[in-house]
Amino acid sequence: MTAIDPIAFNTVSQPGVASAPGSTSSGATTTNAAAPGTQLTSQDFLDLLSAQLEYQDPLAPTSSSQLMSQTTSLESLQELTALTSDVSALLTSSQANQATALIGKTVSGSAPDGSTVTGVVTGVGYGSSGPVLTVGSDSLPLADITKAT
């Protein structure tokens, strides 16, 4: 039995049995688990695992070590996803703290038109790319600050 790759899942197949995309050797129809550019969820993984078990060759079943390995991989992926989310939140918080600490300080940075802006930070806002400092009548993203005194 061919193991189902949850990333590239498109069909359930068996070695030596030809099948058209979107169908299995048993005649059942499958669908793509995820559209291009989307991520699979743990429910998608469990659905794929169920399909693998349902269509496995009864004379050569999947070994328990393979099932344990796949389950462990899912748990590792879930933990890494949670860790990534936590690190992202920490980065956002750190950037907010950095931006807030610059209020009342003189900064220099690049304006969107390419000119250099120098002045005192009077406020902080938050845009889609992170904190944005108000310097006089200009808005400068924190990432574009080149000097702070």
Count of domains observed in the chain: 1
Which CATH number do you get for residue 130?
A: 2.30.30
Distance from C-alpha of 31 to C-alpha of 11, rounded to nearest angstrom: 8
Q: Is there a domain that residue 46 lies in?
A: no
**Which residue is associated with the tokens 């794929």?**
48
Q: Does 126 fall in a domain? A: yes
Q: Which pLDDT value is given to residue 4? A: 47
Cα–Cα distance list, 117 to 13, 30, 136, 146, 148 (Å): 62, 57, 9, 10, 12
Residues 1-32: tens digit of each pLDDT: 444 444 444 334 444 434 444 444 444 444 44
Does pTM top 0.75 for this prediction? Answer: no
Query: Does the residue 27 lie in any domain?
Result: no
pLDDT at 44: 83
Which segments in the chain show pLDDT lower than 70? 1-38
pLDDT number for residue 24: 45
Measured CA to CA, the distance from residue 108 to residue 103 in angstroms comes to 13
pLDDT number for residue 146: 92
Q: pLDDT at position 121, please?
A: 95
Determine the pLDDT at residue 35: 56
Q: Please give the backbone phi and psi of residue 38, each rounded to the nearest 5 degrees, phi first.
A: -105, 165
Domain range enclosing 131 = 95-148
In this predicted structure, what is the pLDDT of residue 38? Answer: 65
